[in-house]
């Protein structure tokens, strides 16, 4: 794979990763959390307590991905792709 191909593939990957991160955020905030919040007050039994033991860690992990992990992957890749593009533009 040439450097030009790598740059194109890398930029496409970066765009797809940003799209994925946005979709995860939107889906979690609008579908998952809103559905949980609607049902939560109506459901108070033993199964609910079991569910809460699973829900809370999942919610925390999703929030970590949305706020920290997803953006950090983008910010790790972006400068590398920008440096590669700058190199290719100055080289040719």
Question: Structural domain tally of the chain?
Answer: 1
Q: Where in the sequence is the domain holding 21, given as residue range(s)?
A: 3-91
Count of all residues that appear for the chain in the document: 92
Site of tokens 């994925």: 20
Q: Is the pTM of this model over 0.85?
A: no
**If you average pLDDT over residues 3-13, what whole number do you get?**
91
pLDDT at 92 over 80: no
Q: Which comes out higher in pLDDT, residue 47 or 71?
A: 71
State the chain's mean pLDDT as an integer: 91
Q: How confident is the model at residue 44 (pLDDT cuts 50, 70, 90)?
A: confident
């Amino acid at each position: 794979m040439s450097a030009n191909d790598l740059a194109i593939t890398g930029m496409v990957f970066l765009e797809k990763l940003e799209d994925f991160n946005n979709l995860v955020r939107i889906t979690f905030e609008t579908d998952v959390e809103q559905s949980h919040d609607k049902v939560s007050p109506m459901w108070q039994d033993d199964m609910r307590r079991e569910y809460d033991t699973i829900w809370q860690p999942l919610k925390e992990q999703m929030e970590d991905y949305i706020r920290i992990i997803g953006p950090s992957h983008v910010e790790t890749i972006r400068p590398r792709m920008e440096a590669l593009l700058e190199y290719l533009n100055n080289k040719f």
